[in-house]
């Protein structure tokens, strides 16, 4: 199971939100590229980046910060937030991102996801953010009647590289991930599923890994707070 350290970008800073609320942002640093380099130095295999402003704006907002990160690291990085058309997908992949995450458009324009997955094999992931099992879009501000599992299954034959599943009510709350829901989703599809939201301890990582079906886990606040030591966690997951 791959551990993805998360760098959430708001106004050029590294932040963490509580349950997706922009007004509940905690700033952890003003040099995202330095933070990315520190995560790489600790041994991570991937980085997970989110343009929070972009998720609300519907277009890239923290591009300069993302570009600075990409210029400092050699490990692959994936990015979500504000990526809603083919031109933006192409732009980011040309700038060196290994994978782009499509969230809102997966609900509103699923054909784009399919077209992008065909055009860029292995480089397109779907972000499914859910509150009580139902998908939320546009930076989690809009709740839909679409069930997370149904959305995931709809891309079963599309060739997407991964599904990033976030339980919004757990995100940033340091209360542990929703393992039953994440495991159920992973068992419902053949697409690799990455768990996000609430991963806050070594025990959480072990529990996710023990399911045997979850391909990765994203953690942010716990790494900044020191609840999880990245180097130690990476070693434990490879043991």
Burial 31-69 (b: 16+ CB within 10 A, else e): bbbebbebbbeeebebbbbbbbbbbbebbbbbbebbbbb
Q: Is 136 exposed, middle or buried (CB count within 10 Å of its CB: 0-12, 13-18, 19+)?
A: buried
pTM for the whole thing?
0.95
Q: What is the DSSP string of 110-177?
A: HHHHHHHHHHSTT-EEEEEEEETTEEEETTTTEEEEEEHHHHHHHTTTTT-SEEEEEEGGGTTTTS--
- 204 catalytic per annotation: no
Evaluate whether 182 touches 204 at the Cβ level (below 8 Å). no
- Find out whether 189 and 158 touch, Cβ atoms under 8 Å: no
Segments in the chain below pLDDT 70 = none
CB 49 within 8 A of CB 5: no
pLDDT computed for residue 162 by the predictor: 98
The two structure tokens encoding residue 68: 């600075």
Q: What pLDDT does 224 receive?
A: 93
Instruction: Specify the 3-state DSSP secondary structure of 99.
Output: strand
The closest alpha carbon to 160, from 99, 108, 109, belongs to 99
Q: How do residues 177-189 score in pLDDT, each as one tens digit?
A: 999 999 999 999 9
Catalytic residue among 51, 129, 167, 204: 129
8 catalytic? Reply is: yes
Catalytic residue among 8, 51, 167, 204: 8
Note the pLDDT tens digit of each residue in 92-145.
999 999 999 999 999 999 999 999 999 999 999 999 999 999 999 988 889 999
The count of other CB atoms within 10 Å of the CB of residue 6 is 20
Instruction: Classify strands 77-80 and 99-102 as parallel, antiparallel or unpaired.
Output: parallel
pLDDT of residue 239: 78
Give the per-residue pLDDT at 23. Answer: 85
- How many other β-carbons are positioned within 10 Å of the β-carbon of residue 172? 23
């Amino acid at each position: 199971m791959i551990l993805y350290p998360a760098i959430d970008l708001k106004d050029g800073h590294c932040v963490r939100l509580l349950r997706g609320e922009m007004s509940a942002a905690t700033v952890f640093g003003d040099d995202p590229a330095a933070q990315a380099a520190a995560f790489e130095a600790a041994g991570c295999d991937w980085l997970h980046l989110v343009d929070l402003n972009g998720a609300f704006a519907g277009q890239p907002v923290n591009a300069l910060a993302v570009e600075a990160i990409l210029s400092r690291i050699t490990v692959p990085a994936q990015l979500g937030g504000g990526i809603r058309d083919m031109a933006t997908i192409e732009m980011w992949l040309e700038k060196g991102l290994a994978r782009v995450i499509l969230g809102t458009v997966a609900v509103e324009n699923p054909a784009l996801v399919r077209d992008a997955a065909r055009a860029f094999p292995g480089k397109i992931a779907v972000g499914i953010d859910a509150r009580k099992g139902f998908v939320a879009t546009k930076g989690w501000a809009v709740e839909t009647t679409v069930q997370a599992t149904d959305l995931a299954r709809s891309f079963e034959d599309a060739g997407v590289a991964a599904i990033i599943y976030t339980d919004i009510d757990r995100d940033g709350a340091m209360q542990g991930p929703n393992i039953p829901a994440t495991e159920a989703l992973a068992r419902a599809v053949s697409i690799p599923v990455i768990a996000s939201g609430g991963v806050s301890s070594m025990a959480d990582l072990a529990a996710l890994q023990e399911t045997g079906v979850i391909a990765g886990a994203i953690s942010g606040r716990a790494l900044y707070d020191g609840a999880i030591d990245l180097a130690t966690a990476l070693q434990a997951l490879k043991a």
